[in-house]
Structure 1
């Protein structure tokens, strides 16, 4: 789907007869320098001019200072990682799925034809239990205290755990993060998006907000979308941020255009969701659109569970804390792989910085855990550790009487229906 909306011009849907001496209106050419592309995600916001080689990437989160200290219902914090369910029955099923993947890996062959081998988990656990943190140095803590009323972007990850802030991620699982808690209404989420996008435009792109009327916006939206939410985002771009015009394009269509392909099956694995659809001649086919409620964040939680089973030497690591969640994501990115030629135990080391600035070096030993975690995307039973997963398809459009582009409205007011109604009145 692609939809262009102009903030300054209106179009007449009724055909008109050609008139003599009618002046021809010519559109001014689009200057790529004045086109801002916005791609919001569950974890990151990517934004940049159309001429930029790479977009600017910032953390798609905002923290607001709490105004009330005596009411618990005014406290809200969206976590960086999905929740970790430690149910006894569930963990037994997860362990069975882990053993199945492990046995499958042992039956695989390396590139030279030799069979892979696996180190007994007891041996890896024994090494990790003996591992002791090594104190490197102590410096001034980089954690942010209560300094500003609003903190946006990457600075949110540096907020001290005890600071008096509510933390919001406007998008979760590929949709607007609406919830019954504080800051969970549609108005509040749009207000957060306005603040984050304005910050990125002014601080990262060096564009003053008062000059956005001469800029055009390209908003990259999911392949499966909520029409009411998209309408609210268009209103945000045109009336609140005051862009001169905007253009909507689905992320899968944008991916095929970027790759120079007219047709492709696109699989997008994000932090909170995985989406699949087929694009043909620049159109995402509605019958092929699927959204799965898992992504890279769920893989990180699976990796943490696997590390715990081999006596993870970082004692007290808690994925619900921001600093530990960031550390686990980094360990996943640095250590995990899908290379069958890597087998057996390997020693890894990483640094841990506490909230008071103490930096410690931790050494651990890992085996096939680094391979099983990313393979959870193909063995989705392991992803149940973060809750029940759902599969979503393209939902039918809901009737919106105030939307001039609503499908029912266009069908009822089309030219053919108007002509039929007019001729019937003439006959009778």
Structure 2
């Protein structure tokens, strides 16, 4: 088989991998998220967190950028459709009904708040400008640096002559049609961003990276070519001595300290669900949805606007978008027992200006906003790419043993076997004294097929080739289609249902781990447990002794659980044989990922 041939190809390479003592301080763990980039040495207690963005100085001020003011994670084209309003209203009705039918711990039902009453109160509220200056300041760009990274990116003036590039969006590379949206341009941004961040925050010169190893976290549902390009940046462009890739869900399980379970990663712009068993990610259970914490932030601001609260907030500005995110994280919750009209003080902090305070009343909106990931119709999103599942390898010219090659070889072997059996059958029924087939087809011994019309000269080889192509087309047509956008509880049920046996499903239902910062609210655990329990198949409930939903693994910030798990994995003795050295990458390229990746490539 080709796989065995490939493995023999690397026998010598594998034999050269000598197990050396693990030097934790020379291993760098990089976790590129849609909003934040987390990185640090595996020996560090906490990672360094900066915006995953780079601002580049424009060579010509007239060149249009993707948009110098827009926070791309807040304004979405998927909301621009005729049925958006109706879809949002339907989602809000479903969320309010869910609040009404779920009894509180006291046994009573939660009384709803009145939007009209809140609106009549808040419409009269005016902001009070305080004497306190905002702690945020516009970044100093007087020296016109060629690029800016770190927190300074978020407070770069829109008119400073910089274009902003976010290499990741919705959990994958931000490939788009605008300027800087090609694959090569995005990889150039990653190279510049990662290299400068390591020098600035970890004090590691790029020229010394040859003495370091890099572990890169990738999404559960990944694109093969994108992973190849990021590995090339690490090993060839930045010059790391060795590198490895690992999936976020597996690292999340290690960080949470659970060997098996359903891992739910809610980030800023995507939510991924995957079932992990003994450190292995089940391919069929992977599901990624393009909704996350930023959608909750936008939903919270929309709900405040319906209550008559309309502060001077422009979501196209990075600073304002982050203010809404901070407001959401401080006020929103999923505690079903808290209700009524709450008076809250909201502060609007703009760079270079005094803080403005608003004293408003809020009701159920504090709970309804987080429920938007349970009832995604509230977000009014429509599109074909809102959900993704793991597809087969797209094919790579640099990898001769990709899925297409293996499929072709297998098909040819099957065809050759069929032809051999057919030939044996023909020889067993052929008259030895004649060169004619007894079936009456009069197959000539001499090759005179050139005298026949083209339509009559289809040989067995061409037939087999056509059959091979038809079989591959049929196989691609049978490939599973990604499901429509669904609530996070139904996404968990979908993922677990893809497990092979009831025993594995029972194991997944008994341990659900939520990581990432997108759903980091008070009382998320009981609400998620209630929703999953209510909708799960009834015959599983008696089989479960307990359903453990973990939202703060080891009392750790859920935003860094995956990074922490990756730093643990990088130091295990069993992981050392998975490193891909720079010289191996130069010699074999992407084929090394097929041999060394800790998941089926």
1:257-281 deviations in Å (ceiling 9; x for gaps): 2223222111111111111111122
2:302 aligned partner = 305
What is the CA deviation profile of residues 156-205 of structure 1, one whole-angstrom value per residue up to 9, with x for unaligned ones?
11112332211111001111101121111111111111121112211211
CA distance in 2, matches of 1:205, 1:94: 45
Give the TM-score taking structure 2 as reference length. 0.62
Give the deviation of 1:41 after TM superposition: 0.5
Partner of 1:157: 154
My pick for the range that moved more, 73-82 or 276-285, is: 73-82
Please give the residue correspondences for 1:8-407 in structure 2 after superposition, counting only pairs within 5 Å. Answer: 13=9, 26-72=18-64, 79-83=71-75, 85=79, 89-137=83-131, 139=133, 142-144=137-139, 146-147=141-142, 148-314=145-311, 316-384=312-380, 390-403=386-399, 406-407=402-403
In 1, Cα distance between equivalents of 2:207 and 2:407: 39
- Equivalent-residue separation in structure 2 for 1:399 and 1:220 (angstroms): 22
Q: Distance in 1 between matches of 2:88 and 2:17?
A: 65
Give the Cα separation in 1 of the matches to 2:55 and 2:16: 51
Counterpart contact for 1:300–1:332, Cα < 8 Å = yes
**Runs (5+) with no aligned partner, structure 2:** 1-6, 417-601
1:73, 1:31 → 2: CA distance? 43
Secondary structure in 2 matching 1:130:
coil
Are the aligned partners of 2:31 and 2:218 in contact in 1 as well (CA < 8 Å)? yes
Partner of 1:376: helix, strand, or coil?
helix
Q: Distance in 2 between matches of 1:206 and 1:294?
A: 35
- Which shows bigger deviation, 153-162 or 135-144? 135-144
Return closer, same or farther for 1:293/1:36 CA change in 2, 3 Å cut-off: same
Report Cα offsets for 1:8-45 as digits up to 9, x if no partner.
Answer: xxx961668xxxxxx99843222111100011110011
Q: Determine if contact 1:256/1:263 at 8 Å carries over to the other structure.
A: yes
Between Structure 1 and Structure 2, which shows a larger proportion of strand residues? Answer: 1
Alpha-carbon deviation of 1:353? 2.8
Structure 2 contact 66–164 (Cα < 8 Å) conserved:
no
SS in 1 for 2:361: strand
Cα deviation for residue 113 of structure 1 reads: 2.3
Q: Select between 386-395 and 184-193 the one with higher mean Cα deviation.
A: 386-395
For the pair shown, the structure with the greater C-alpha radius of gyration is 2
Q: CA deviation at 1:368?
A: 0.6
Cα separation, 2, equivalents of 1:90 and 1:52:
46
Provide the secondary structure at the position in 1 that maps to 2:207.
helix
* 2:123 partner SS: helix
User: Do 2:269 and 2:292's aligned partners in 1 also have CA atoms closer than 8 Å?
Assistant: yes
> Gaps spanning 5+ residues in structure 1: where?
1-10, 17-22, 421-428
Q: Count the aligned residue pairs.
A: 401
**Contact 2:320–2:350, Cα closer than 8 Å, also in 1:** no
Give the drift of 1:389.
6.1
Could you give the per-residue CA deviations for residues 198-222 of structure 1, whole angstroms, max 9, x where no partner exists? 1221121121211111101111111
Task: Map Cα deviations across residues 47-72 of structure 1 (whole Å, 9 max, x no partner).
Answer: 11111122111110111121112344
CA contact (8 A) 2:270 2:289 kept: yes
Contact 1:252 1:284 in 2 (8 A): yes
**Is contact 2:323–2:349 with CA below 8 Å preserved after alignment?**
no
Check the 8 A contact 2:70/2:317 in 1, yes or no.
Answer: no
CA contact (8 A) 2:65 2:163 kept: no
TM-score (norm 1): 0.86
CA 1:133–1:358: 2 relative to 1, 3 Å: same
Structure 1 range deviating more: 76-85 or 165-174 = 76-85
Contact 2:71 2:316 in 1 (8 A): yes
Give the helix-richer structure, 1 or 2. 2
